[in-house]
Amino acid sequence: MEVAAMNINNYAEVIAKYNKRNCEKVEPGFKTRAQWQQIWKIETSQANKRLSDFLNSGIMEMKKFRIQTPSGKIYPTIHYKAIK
């Protein structure tokens, strides 16, 4: 089916399939800053400071994963994992 001949529903299906194929699976143990913030029950600035300190001291590692954001777009998002 040509793109010009697609109706809006078909176009949305094609985009959804494309996005699903281009997402990465987040490895176990990795969480976003917001997820760590909820676990620690602290404010955003405190979470940013804590993550920065942990990264610099080697307690945590950082990795980007291409995930689908709430808006539906695929975006490389930073995730953090505690190093054991």
What are the boundaries of each domain within the chain? 24-82
Q: What is the pLDDT of residue 1?
A: 46
In angstroms, rounded to a whole number, what is the distance separating the alpha carbons of residues 25 and 66? 8
Q: What is the pLDDT of residue 41?
A: 97
Confidence band of 18 (pLDDT split at 50, 70, 90): low
Q: Which amino acid is at 58?
A: G
CATH number belonging to domain 24-82: 1.10.10
E-strand stretches of the chain? 60-68, 74-82
Residue of 50 and 21 predicted with greater confidence:
50
